[in-house]
Structure 1
């Protein structure tokens, strides 16, 4: 046990510089800085995200209410967009349960921004500008999900059958199980065999993920394959950011939330209350937009050339 911060004081000064440069970057582009709640009655339904829950007592209400610390500010920011905010960003704390290690802390800092009217390629260009201005990083290359699997594993992730993917995942990772889905196998192969090789010479955007991994992104058919209109940004083998051509169809969004909860139930995971505020906001009308979430702690890891998140935050969970 130690009361001292895990990082050097120079890291705190660097974080202050990054935050100041971030504010300048968006101010020059007339992107509005906003704040949204950390606590909400609903949260992400994604099977691969575990939220931190809290029991909250409210005056004049009987019993405690279950609330959640947000895995990202996405839902509330989209409500602001639907209300006519225009382009917005925020730097905020986010929380994910069960994530702790040299690259993860259950409490972390996220930069998230949304650009109404921007295509995904236009947003990628702005992300590249941000990396250049704030982190002095090179303009990222672009690789498709398919190209990455072909290059590093010699397999087409979109056309390979489930048994082939299962056997390859077992061979490459040593992990197997009757309950592994197609996406589970792809995720294992990506995280164990590909991610560490991405962005090692210069940052790289990976695009055109399988439609089954769309999450909150739109889907487009390309060469007969349905693909998620999203990207992930990698540098030095670290995933830094996740961007979407945002889904704005309320009915489809509700369908995906319900499908997530059905899958969660089958996996023995708790169902998540659906964010009907978001659904109603989408119904009211959200113009076409693109958005991105970027991990500030990981970005600082790249700038500092360190492999441990403890080197860029003052008090990780072990010292909180």
Structure 2
């Protein structure tokens, strides 16, 4: 008996350490680069909710400590994982980015129409009520554009559409551009599988706007998704100030997304809304990942951020007002004060 006890203790410690390693792997796969393969690419998007499970798991392990060897060690290890993960997530829920004085605002909206199934009237109402300067509509090809154009063109907008490979509205990206921006030049790029629209010139000055969509990281599609997300670096790390808006199918918990957006700020995170779900709408409004984003290169900073429900889509629309320095883009009308 006395000779078996040290072996039992050693075995229980190893079991506890293996358990903690499994918990860490599920919760923090991005720290070792595993979040670019299935199933970690999908699981890491749910990290804020995995942390809730860890909070519950710790007292359960402590209760089991009376009967299960190594449970206390396992609980301590889970607490370490919890602290590390919480430290990565918490800054997104706090508005700490200062808004600089001067300059002027640019209002941006982004929305996935769910293969054109979104209520066109509600999209037009959002544009009419908020008067955004630029809107990125993904999964919106010529069919959706033909329905929306008559509703927003009388409001002072024109539309630019890029058509990709998938049939119907799924394969389209449409940018809605305020006429007050002047003679803005547009370029369409037919990438695989989704296209994009890029705008520059006119009232945008030195600024480039990109209406962007990536493939979702479904099983078998993760390599293409990773390639799509990596494209963001060409604008965030490029020499030209840029705003990239749309459905990125990635959260700030994905290492490939964080790496690609180096040089950009995320509008939601800057205003403490980095945990606000944008998909799917059939879950409660507090549950789900944030995969729709508006990114902008420094020193552009978000003043406000909010999400809106629009019938017919499984995504929520995002709306943000960005503070643009005068040396990046000339003012449109009178500068608005910081909010």
Higher RCO (C-alpha under 8 Å, 6+ residues apart): 1
What TM-score do you get using the length of structure 2 for normalisation? 0.27
What TM-score do you get using the length of structure 1 for normalisation? 0.28
